[in-house]
Chains A and B, each alone.
Chain A
Amino acid sequence: MDLILFFLLAFVAVGCAINLVLQSHPISSAISLIGVMVSLAGLYLLLGAEFIAAAQIIVYAGAIMVLFTIVIMLLNSGKEAPGRMNNLSRFLGLPLLLVMVGLLAMVLVQVVPPTQEVKFGNFTGGGPADLGMLLFTKYVLPFEATSVLILVAILGAVVLALKEMD
């Protein structure tokens, strides 16, 4: 069952990602990105990260993508003009990309021990209780720094968006 679910979710994720890159209209890209995020949330569940899977759906597929969609709607962004690529990138781009992925895959297969297998339910440390315990003890300083980061981000966004008013 693990294998079937992994392949199903992985194919959806890769297919949506390729669709994201190839579509010419930004709204189609945004919907493909939501597909990638939802299938990644399923993979997180298979890996025993329940809280992160929920946060992925709520924060990424919910909040961030709604923000993207609103901006696309607001700017009334139309189809992208076909890009002019030079011959080098047109003919060498895809093969070089495949070479890069192949090399990475080769290194990963050699480095990661093959006895390590993912079975659903073998690791149950990803619940909210375990995460919260670690977040408020070992990682409490980065957590507090995050609040400053969000404050600065809010102020920056407001300052940038307010320019129009005056």
Chain B
Amino acid sequence: MDFLTNSGVPISWYLILSAILFAIGASGFLMRRNIITVFMCIELMLNAVNLSFISFSYMWRQVDGHIITFFVMVVAAAEAAVGLAIILTIYRNRRTLEIDQINALKN
């Protein structure tokens, strides 16, 4: 019990958790067919990268990683606004959210 309450967590575990989340997000990005879910998988990957930035920031005892995470959040917010507007436009023009049917550039 003493082990559970007193010991710290190795920093590499945080990085491994980040890698697992990124892999799940990437597989969802490739696997899913709904464009909104694909977009959410991108957000999941961004979050995983943020976790590794914060872990490295802790490792080097510097705040720079926090700043980068802050910028990633800002870019993600801007990306979500523009991306969802694009999704709305696609739905209005083509009446579908399935990415398999949005293939105008293919032919």
User: A residues touching B (Cβ–Cβ < 8 Å)?
Assistant: 1-4, 6, 10, 13-14, 17-18, 20-21, 26, 29-30, 33, 36-37, 40, 43-44, 46-49, 51-52, 55-56, 59-60, 63-64, 67-68, 71-72, 74-75, 77, 80-81, 83, 85, 93, 97, 100-101, 104-105, 108-109, 112, 114, 116-119, 123, 125-126, 130-131, 134-135, 138-139, 142, 146, 149-150, 152-154, 156-157, 160-161, 163-164
Contact = CB atoms under 8 A, between A and B. Distances in A.
Nearest to A104: B19
Contact of A164 (B61, B74, B82, B92): B92
Contacts of A160: 82, 85-86, 88-89
Given A2-B8, A71-B36, A118-B14, A51 B66 contact: yes
A80 B74 CA distance: 30
Contacts of B87: 71, 75
A21 B27 contact: yes
Interface residues of chain A: helix, strand, loop or mixed (majority): helix
Contacts of A153: 77-79, 81-82
B25 to A, nearest CB: 7
A82 to B, nearest CB: 9
Interface in B66-92: 66-67, 69-71, 73-82, 84-89, 91-92
A75 B88 contact: yes
Interface residues of chain B: helix, strand, loop or mixed (majority): helix
A80 B13 CA distance: 34
A6 to B, nearest CB: 5
Nearest to A105: B16
Contacts of A100: 23
Contacts of A72: 36
A145 B84 CA distance: 23
25 contacts: A3-B3, A10-B13, A17-B24, A20-B37, A26-B37, A30-B40, A36-B44, A40-B47, A43-B54, A49-B54, A49-B69, A51-B66, A56-B73, A77-B36, A81-B98, A100-B23, A101-B23, A105-B19, A108-B15, A112-B11, A117-B8, A142-B71, A157-B85, A160-B82, A161-B85
